[in-house]
Amino acid sequence: VGSNNTCRDNFKRQHLANAQRILFMSILDVSFVICDADARGCAIRFASKGFVDLFGHPLNTCIGKTYGPFVGCLSIVGSGKTGLQSLAKTNGLSVNVVEKGFKYLMCQVKEQYARIRNNSDLTGCALQLNQKQDGTVFVCEMRLEKKMHPLTGWPFYLVVQRDISEFVSIPQLIQAAACGEYDALVQRFDIASNQLLAPFRSTEGANALHETARAMWQSS
């Protein structure tokens, strides 16, 4: 009987370990980054396979980068007014509307970070224009949460992304941001937030996230 119990326990442990590995691999398919809350600019410490696939940047070029200048709105305006003029022309908008929209979008990201900085129970939500390595600009739904590793106490941000260009066009987002209709647009996606963060909500998913964060913290 003792031998049978030992075999059963070993099988359970092996099955659990396999299940955790499968869950971890499924989480990696989600586009997300782990950002160091203590580092200047909240530097990216980990990027998932899903993030690499979505943005096209090699993994080794992601680590240490600040999100905004790397793939966010700042990556688009980094080249100065030329980038905004090109975006305006491509999408049939005036440069004035694009500039106003971008200013609002960038302020929204800062507000969301400020909102969750001192309250880990809150989830930040932002619709943004992000840019891939090949220069493609797309509408990105972002969900942000501040986490604290249960053992190390290391604070970090979980930032999850989803391409929603199929539902919201670039002109639609810019015009909403420039004309005071941004909040209404964001509210349309509040229900979907649970789906976007669902892989991290379960106990197993949270453990996998914290294990990833711990490994990144130790290697930094």
> Tens digit of pLDDT for each residue in 170-180?
999 999 999 99
Mean pLDDT of 155-181: 94
Of 137, 12, 19, nearest in space to 72 by CA: 137
Task: Point out which residues pair with 130 in neighbouring strands.
Answer: 138
Highest mean pLDDT (candidates 9-18, 53-62, 69-78): 53-62
Domain ranges of the chain: 3-219
- CATH second-level architecture of 3-219? 2-Layer Sandwich (3.30)
CA–CA distance, 47 with 52 (Å, rounded to integer): 7
Q: Name residues whose C-beta falls within 8 Å of residue 74's C-beta, 6 or more positions apart in sequence.
A: 68, 106
CA–CA distance, 140 with 130 (Å, rounded to integer): 6
Contact 187, 95 (CB under 8 A): no
pLDDT value at 219 more than 90: no
Residue 196 banded pLDDT, cuts 50, 70, 90: confident
DSSP state of 29: T
Q: How crowded is the C-beta side of 32, counted as CA atoms within 13 Å?
A: 24
- Residue scoring higher pLDDT (100 or 192): 100
Torsion of CA 91, 95, 96, 100, to 10 degrees: 60
pLDDT of residue 47: 93
Contact 137, 143 (CB under 8 A): no
184 in helix, strand or coil?
A: helix
pLDDT of residue 81: 76
CA–CA distance, 183 with 79 (Å, rounded to integer): 28
Mean pLDDT of 190-210: 77
